[in-house]
Every structure is written in C-alpha cells, then in structure tokens.
Amino acid sequence: HIAAAIDSIPEWVDAVVVIDDGSNDGTGEVARARERTESPLLVLRTNGIGVGGAISAGYRILHDLVDAGLLPNGDWAAVVMAGDGQMDPLDIPGLLAGLELVPFVKGNRFSHPDGLGRMPLRRRVGSRILSLLTSLATGQKVHDPQCGYTAVRLSVVRHWDWVHQWSGYGYPNWWLLKLAERSIPFKEVPVRSVYRNEQSGIRVRRFLPKISLLLFSGLWRRG
C-alpha cells in the first residue's frame, strides 16, 4: 500500500520522508519510484528498529534537513502517517489546526462518524481496554491511545529526549505517559480509519501484556 499512501499526500505538504525500516518486499524501491511535483520525497533506509524507532528517525532527518538549510527555518509541523494507507489524508488539516492550541495532537477514531470503518472486533475491544489503562496511568482522559496518526511541532520535539527511548510498538502509550509526566498538553481530534486487506505486525499475546505493564508502572508512579 506504500505507493497509494504516498500518492494520497496532498501536494501542499512541504516534504515527505518515508522510513524503509528493513523491508524485504521491495517497499523502499516502490517508494523511491514515486514522483512528487511540488515537494521533495526522501526515502531513508533503517535496519529493523521498530515503528517507534522509525518515527524517531523521521524526526531526526527533518531536524537535519532544517539544520543543513535544505528546509527553511520555521515552525514546522511533522505529521506521522502509516505506510499501509490506514490514515485518511483529508484529516491532516484537522491535526494541524490543533497545533494552534497545543504542541502535540493525535487522532481519535472513536469520535469520527466513520472512524472505525472495518476495524476488527478484537482491535476495538483491545483499544477500549488500553484507553482505560492509559487514562488511569496518565491521569488524563485518553479516548484512542493506539491511534498513531499524529502532528507535533518539530521545534518542541528537538527538546524531548524521551521521543527516542522507545522503539517498538506501544510508542503512542509511551508518548502519552511522558507528556503527562511533564504536564505537556495534548489534544485528540476526530480521524477516519481506512481498513483494507493489510496485515498487522502486532502479536496481541505479546503486545497487550507488555503495554499493560508499561501503563501499570505509570499508574504506580502516580501513586
């Protein structure tokens, strides 16, 4: 789905960075073959560092581009989209609008009239359970903690060292815990989820206990 995901990004987006995290199915080659007429496309190869690590690498390369003068200085917004096409590009303006109020905005599929789409039942149940645990652990109401469709001010990410400390699945929960610890405000906005025939790499039996332990430790630290 990577070609369609890239092609769906609006031309008014200033730059696109694709992280090819050790793919062995030609994903990187397909991404490099795409052409954008109004904005540059950069494909960065990494070596299986995980989804959290890939996102961290994306932020680093954007900082490097700004520091090198290849992107002008400015209050950039960095938007994370999955390469499987599950995120509707029409929701980008809503994410960006939230940055007028807070430094970090994330999607909430449960508040969008078409947000869940064909989301599998076990995904819905698991998201509800993790929503409860994340809300308890952070002390803030979080409706859709596992949604990775996010926007953040690039200038503030530069000073958040914890962004680079979690490399695998569960990075949305890690972010929310760290934001809560530092009293950094965030906002959830409605987004639509697009499910087709993609296969998730998450293994629920390993993922749910690991993230639950992370969240329970956050709750313990809050007393």
Spatial separation of the C-alpha atoms in residues 29 and 14, rounded to whole Å: 22
pTM of the model: 0.84
Q: Identify the pLDDT of residue 207.
A: 63
What are the φ/ψ torsions at residue 205 (nearest 5 degrees)? Answer: -65, -25
| Residue 203: strand, helix, or coil | coil
Cα 48 to Cα 4, 22, 160: the distances in Å are 23, 5, 23
Tens of pLDDT, residue by residue over 49-90, are 999 999 999 999 999 999 999 888 888 999 999 998 889 999
Spatial separation of the C-alpha atoms in residues 30 and 67, rounded to whole Å: 28
Single-letter amino acid, residue 174: W
Cα 87 to Cα 41, 61, 120, 149, 211: the distances in Å are 19, 22, 16, 7, 23
Spatial separation of the C-alpha atoms in residues 105 and 95, rounded to whole Å: 6
Q: Identify the pLDDT of residue 146.
A: 84
Q: Identify the pLDDT of residue 197.
A: 59
Q: Identify the pLDDT of residue 206.
A: 66
Q: Identify the pLDDT of residue 117.
A: 62
Question: What residues in the chain have per-residue pLDDT under 50?
Answer: none
Spatial separation of the C-alpha atoms in residues 131 and 120, rounded to whole Å: 17
